[in-house]
Structure formats: C-alpha cells, structure tokens
Structure 1
Amino acid sequence: MAACRALVSRAVLPLHFHHVCRGVMLTHIREKKRWMKAYTLIMERKTKMEGPPPPKPRSQQPNFDYHAEVEAFSARLQESFSVELLKTAFVNTCYLRSEEERRRALGLDLETTTLNLKDNGKLCVHGQQFTKGFLSDWCRGSFPSLPEEGVAAVVGHLTGAEVMCHVAQNLAVEDLTMSAEFPVPDETLQGTFFAVIGALEQSSGPVRAGLFIRVRQESS
C-alpha cells in the first residue's frame, strides 16, 4: 500500500509542479501585458500633450558614417566627385559658426574651438554662376526667338529656391547638409545644392556638370 502511495505521489508531483509553473508564467505574462498597455497609454498622452519630438538630422541618428554616406551619395548619382570637394560642398558657414559657439560655451580654448573645415561659400558661388550660365545658353539655343527677358525669367525660375530645393530633397542633399538649423532652411539648401554642382564641375568638368543640370532640370 505504501509502495502504491509512493508511486502515485511520484506521478502526481510533476503534474502539480507543471501546473503551478504554468500558472505562474501565465500570471507573469498577463501582468506584463497590463504594464505595457498602461505604459503605452501614458506615452500616447505625453505625445499628444507635448507634440511629436523635433526631427533630427541624419548625422545625429545611430550608425551614421559621414564619409561612407558622402561616397554613397556620389555613387547614387553615378557621378565622379572629388570626395574632399563634395564634403566641403555640404559645410555651410552657419554650421561652422554655431559649432564654434557651442565649443566656446563648453570652455574650450581658441585652438580647440576652431574647426578644421572649409565652408562651401566659394563652391556655392561657382556652382551658381555655372548653373545660370549653362541654363542661359541652353535656353537661347532651344528657344532662339525668346527675348533676353524671357531667358532671364526661365533661368530665374529654374534656379529659384522652390525648384532647387525640390530637386535637392529628392536627391537627399538635405540629409548630408551641415546646417545650424534643421530642417534645413530653403536658402541654405539651395546654396548647398549650388555648391554640389560647383564641386561636380571642378571634379568632372563642365560637360559632365552641364549634363547633370540638364537631367535634373528635365526631371523636375
């Protein structure tokens, strides 16, 4: 009899243990679901009250490799850029000023505060002059009867902030633009795109840069 009881106990004990463990696990899962639901509701209310978080530039997001991103940009456009020139094209004066001010506020000395970067000012001017000159010549060749006022109007439209920024955003120029503000202001993005064109002209020559402008102008 005692032996029978022992056998029954050995058979029942694992079943009881399994039942208890399963009950504890289900309780734990239910508690976790309740906790997650409460946390989600709190975060949703917080977002409604405070609004969505401000957008972050691509450079402040995880796993960002600037050098690799610049090279990928060149490959995506299927253009041959000098990497150093292309990097410079994305550096705006406002970014350099704000970064130096930030470093000064941290108490860094003048030598440490100064960034070893060139701004894109010269490339921007060069790119703007080249773009306007190329489009003016294209316009006169394509529409010989168009008066100079008409040529100026067409070129002004194609090189204006609205068209330039639209094309620049489609090419992801904004993601690499170094600016003091984000989202990047239209004027800064327009200047950066001119600088990219200037970098291309200096890297690959006027023929390639002109073809790039024509293709982008037609796609806009």
Structure 2
Amino acid sequence: MQLTRWQRLGLTAAVGAVLAVGATALVVQAIEGPDAPSTTAHTTAPATDAATPAATDRATPTDPVDAVEVESGPALSAEVSAQLDYVLAHWDEKDYNSADWGVLGINDCVNFASQAMIARGWTMDDVWSSPKNGNAYDASAAWRSSTAFMKYIAATGKATALTDQQRDQVKVGDIVQFDWDNTGDRDHTGIVSKVERTGDAISISFAGHTLNSDYRSVDTAITEDHPGGTAYYWSVP
C-alpha cells in the first residue's frame, strides 16, 4: 500500500515515541535496581537547599527530662502556723494591723516582725515591747530597730544565730536579717515564709514590711536588690 507523505511522518513520530518510552524504562530500572520498592509513578523531587537535611536525617525526639523534685518541709506546728497566718494576712499595706501596732513610716520591717513573733507566742518584756496603742514610735528600740532586735535575741537566747551558709538549718517561721553594706549592723528584718530544697540547692523566701512582700527571695534581695549584701538567720525553737 502506498503511504502518503503525511502518513509516513506520523508513523515515524509514533515509533520514535515508543523507543523513547522504552529507553526511559530501561534507565529507571538500571538506577533503581531489581530490589528497589515498586512504585506506581516516578516524579522528580523539587530542588531543595543543600543546607536543609533530608527527612531521614532529622534528629528524633529524645525522651523528656525527668522533673526535678522539690522537697517539701516538715509539717508546721500550731505556733508557726499562727505566725505564718498572721504575716500572710498583714504583709500588704492595705492589710496592715496599724490600729494595734501603728506604722514606722518606711522602716516598718521590725515592727512587723515583732508582731509576727507575738502571734507565734513570744511575750513582751522590759526590753522588747510595744504599748499596742497604734503608735509604733512608742515601742522600745528592740521592737522597732533591726540592730537592737538582733542584740536582744542574742542576749536572751530566744533563737540560735545562723549564717547564710547554714541554710540547711533554716525553717519556716525563723527570722531573717540583712546587712546590706556589711558594716555589722542589721538593715532589714523579715520572717521566713518558704524553704524549698531542689537537690542540693536551698531557696528561702520571706515576708515583711518595707518593700512589702509575702514570698520575697533572699537570693534576689542580696544579689539584685542589694548586690553584695549578706543574709543572717535566727533559728527559733
């Protein structure tokens, strides 16, 4: 049969297409090998940044880190509970017990700490006392001065002196005092309101007036508020 010129061109194109497909199949088979997984289609993967790792190179998630256990302190005695209840009820300025004890302007820390010790069960004497008439300035020096309070406790033996290196002996309800400039006197007084032990680390918080606080960090007080300051404690039996 005589083919027209256009029929011959069509047949040539068809044969060329078949040969191209066959060649491509041979190339794919040669690349994948006989053990390659079977697929129904082969597509060209989009180009990626050379710095981007392939999916198989991504790190697998690790097991979550175990939470560090924070040890709780011993149960509080009735006396310490009453003391802590008092400081947490009256540390904020809006809740000061000024009707009974008055306020010492911007230096009310020992006046408040003394109140807390009364709530705990301490009794007044000739050196440490307040008339409880709403005027804090009528109180004795030991009632309203951090340094005089320190000397009073040391003289009476009502508590045991501890340094900041003895934090392992500090407990809730103890008295904390600070020497901001390390001159030997005491510049601030508070009541320990929380002791947390995480491993070997011990964190202590305190409540107080003058920079009113319920859980102010001792560490913050001596490193950020007053860098280089020193904390001391009185362990109250």
TM-score by length of 2: 0.23
Bigger share in strand = 2
**Greater Rg by CA:** 2
Where is the helix percentage greater, Structure 1 or Structure 2?
1
